[in-house]
């Protein structure tokens, strides 16, 4: 009796194997005809029993499944993910030098190219979700190319998909991603401007052709600070300030001399409303980088907001010494000067009509005129550096009018009208 059961079971297993082979052949034929729906159907029929198959049949199954799901680049996003898993299973089953190794590699290269093409196309259309997904898939296909994961994170941020962005950024941090790359540059003879090249060979060709001169290589800045800053900002946007500060401080501990991290933490503290912490951190950064106009500008802002106009003025003046064309500093200097006007106006309005009050009124009016005169150079420079600054132009109209400079007022009023007409 036992012998009869054994024979029956053997026949049953044999029939399963025959069915699997038949379905795999059907899938293979359908793939050759580009009938991927039919191929997927055959694969689904064979999948339930594949666990009991030998490695040779398993490799064949996963190879065909990968092709069916990939569908020559037309598969859905979910199918693409499953296709990658299947193709990876081929190598896991048969090793790196198996029967399907080269074919799998060829398909993976096609997939990678397809993911990158679609991700870039989506980025051009500002479809950030699709672009981020495409770059993520490209990274999963080629994990040595961590730049793709960085692009996935950056485009997720652009699309305000902060959950995925945080996941990608934390993965980059755990990988120790730095992002420093070699940039190949040369001067364009015609424009005298520096241009970048994607490779040294292309740069050398342009130099040899005579269109470019002075070839050189530069290293781009590390992206570690940016990654940690974004992780912290996402935590902060989620209302988890403790995690945000912890992430930033962890990064600073690992990179104590990185001024950009100090500035990032300072800006984060400012967004949290911690102005004293912001000022302290900016001053700390200034010790490391005393000739940084950006730091001086930020100290000017926090000093002005704290009511210390003299300190703010000093920081702004130092910033302009280092960077005379710093538009925002010129603008803020004008704002700082004009911020003193309100106190004068309130004092003028509180005066009576006595001779002494009239005299005081004239003195205060003269002080107000001096404020206007002091602000004019900064506003004019702001408008010169940023010709479309409507607010600066409107402020100048009011000041010229108050000072009785009619011609300048008319000229500036015409500029305001032109700017408003162009909006």
Q: What are the tens digits of pLDDT across the range 84-101?
A: 898 889 888 888 788 888
* Nearest residue to 298 (alpha-carbon basis) of 284, 311, 315: 315
Radius of gyration over every alpha carbon of the chain, rounded to an integer in angstroms: 34
Q: How far is CA 264 from the centre of its chain?
A: 15
Q: How many CB atoms lie within 10 A of CB 174?
A: 8
- The chain-wide mean pLDDT, for the chain, equals 86
Express each pLDDT in 275-321 by its tens digit: 888 888 888 888 888 888 988 998 888 788 878 889 899 999 999 99
Decide if 251 contacts 261 (C-beta within 8 A). yes
Q: What is the mean pLDDT of residues 224-228?
A: 82
Q: Is residue 8 pLDDT above 50, yes or no? A: no
pLDDT score for 131? 94
Q: How many CB atoms lie within 10 A of CB 206?
A: 19
* pLDDT score, position 423: 60
H or E stretch covering 165 = helix 162-175
Task: Provide the pLDDT for residue 13.
Answer: 41
Distances (CA, A) of 355 to 181, 360, 361, 362, 364: 74, 9, 10, 11, 14
The more confident residue out of 48 and 174 is 174
Q: How confident is the model at residue 330 (pLDDT cuts 50, 70, 90)?
A: very high
The size of the chain, in residues, is 423
Give me the pLDDT at residue 405, please: 93
Q: Indicate the pLDDT class of residue 18, thresholds 50, 70 and 90.
A: very low
**Which residues, 6 or more positions from 114, have their beta carbon under 8 angstroms from its beta carbon?**
73
> Which pLDDT value is given to residue 20?
56
- At 145, give phi and psi (nearest 5°): -95, 75
- pTM of the prediction? 0.59
Max avg pLDDT among 109-113, 140-144, 389-393:
389-393
Q: Give the Å distances, CA to CA, from 294 to 91, 107, 290, 298.
A: 53, 49, 10, 6
Find out whether 360 and 376 touch, Cβ atoms under 8 Å: no
Output the pLDDT for position 191: 87
Tell which residue, 409, 410, 397, 386, has the closest CA to residue 331.
386
In this prediction, residue 17 carries a pLDDT of: 46
**Position 6 confidence tier, pLDDT thresholds 50, 70, 90:** very low
How does pLDDT run across 356-389, given as a tens digit for each residue? 988 998 898 899 999 999 999 999 999 999 999 9
Within a 13 Å sphere around the CA of 4, how many CA atoms are in the beta-carbon half? Answer: 1
Sheet-wide strand order for 194-197:
194-197, 182-188, 212-219
Model pLDDT, residue 422:
65
Given this model, what pLDDT does residue 101 score? 87
Q: Give the Cα-Cα-Cα angle 291, 295, 302 (nearest 5 degrees).
A: 140
Report whether 275 contacts 305 (CB < 8 A).
yes
**What gap in Å lies between CA 266 and CA 274, rounded to an integer?**
9
Confidence tier at 237 by pLDDT (50, 70, 90): confident
Give CA–CA dist 237/244, Å, rounded.
9
Residue 141 or 326, more confident: 326
| Contacts (Cβ under 8 Å, ≥6 apart) of 319 | 293, 294, 296, 297, 300, 326, 329
Residue 373's pLDDT is what? 94
Q: How far apart are the first and last CA of the chain?
A: 94
348: three-class secondary structure by DSSP: helix
Count CA atoms within 13 Å of residue 361 on its CB side: 11
Distance between CA atoms of 112 and 101, rounded to whole angstroms?
16
pLDDT at 118 over 60: yes
CB 326 within 8 A of CB 297: yes
Alpha-carbon distance of 20 to 27, in angstroms, equals 10
Q: What is the pLDDT of residues 247-281, one digit of tens each?
A: 888 877 777 777 777 877 887 888 788 888 888 88
Query: CB–CB of 385/325 below 8 Å?
Result: yes
Report the C-alpha gap between 51 and 40 in whole angstroms: 18
What is the percent of the chain with per-residue pLDDT over 90, rounded to a whole number? Answer: 33
* Separation of alpha carbons 292 and 284, rounded Å: 12
Predicted local confidence at residue 43, as pLDDT: 85
């Amino acid at each position: 009796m036992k012998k009869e059961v054994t024979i029956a079971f053997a026949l049953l297993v044999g029939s399963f194997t025959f069915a699997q082979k038949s379905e795999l052949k059907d899938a293979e034929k359908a793939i050759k005809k580009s009938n991927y729906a039919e191929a997927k159907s055959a694969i689904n029929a064979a999948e339930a029993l594949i666990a009991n198959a030998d490695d040779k049949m398993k490799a064949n199954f996963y190879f065909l499944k990968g092709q069916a799901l990939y569908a020559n680049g037309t598969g859905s996003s979910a199918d693409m993910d499953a296709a990658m898993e299947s193709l990876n299973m081929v190598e896991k089953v048969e090793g790196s030098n198996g029967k399907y190794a080269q074919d799998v590699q060829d398909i993976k290269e096609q997939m990678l190219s397809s993911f990158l093409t679609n991700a870039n196309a989506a980025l051009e259309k500002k479809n950030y979700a699709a672009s981020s997904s495409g770059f993520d898939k490209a990274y999963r296909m080629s994990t040595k190319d961590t730049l793709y994961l960085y692009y996935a994170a950056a485009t997720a941020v652009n699309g305000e998909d902060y959950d995925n962005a945080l996941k990608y950024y934390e993965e980059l941090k755990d990988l120790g991603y730095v992002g420093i790359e070699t940039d190949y540059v040369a001067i364009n003879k015609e424009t005298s401007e520096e241009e970048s090249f994607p490779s040294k060979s292309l740069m050398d060709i342009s130099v040899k052709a005579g269109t470019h001169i002075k070839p050189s290589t530069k290293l781009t800045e590390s992206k570690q600070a940016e990654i940690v800053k974004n992780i912290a900002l996402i935590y902060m946007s989620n209302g988890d300030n403790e995690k945000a500060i912890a992430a930033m401080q962890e990064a600073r501990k690992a990179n104590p001399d990185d001024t950009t991290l100090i500035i990032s933490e300072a800006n984060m503290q400012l967004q949290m409303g911690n102005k004293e912490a912001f000022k302290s951190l900016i001053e700390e950064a200034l010790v490391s980088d005393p000739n940084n106009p950006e730091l001086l500008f930020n100290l000017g802002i926090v000093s002005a907001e704290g009511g210390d106009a003299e300190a703010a003025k000093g920081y702004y003046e130092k910033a302009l010494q280092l960077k005379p064309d710093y538009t925002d500093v010129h603008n803020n200097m004008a704002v700082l000067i004009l911020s003193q006007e309100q106190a004068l106006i309130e004092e003028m309005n509180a005066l009576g009509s006595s001779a002494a009050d009239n005299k005081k009124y004239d003195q205060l009016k003269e002080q107000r005129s001096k404020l206007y005169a002091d602000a004019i150079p900064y506003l004019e420079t702001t408008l010169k550096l940023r010709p479309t600054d409507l607010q600066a132009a409107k402020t100048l109209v009011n000041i010229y009018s108050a000072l009785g400079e009619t011609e300048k007022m008319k000229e500036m009023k015409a500029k305001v009208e032109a700017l408003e007409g162009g909006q």
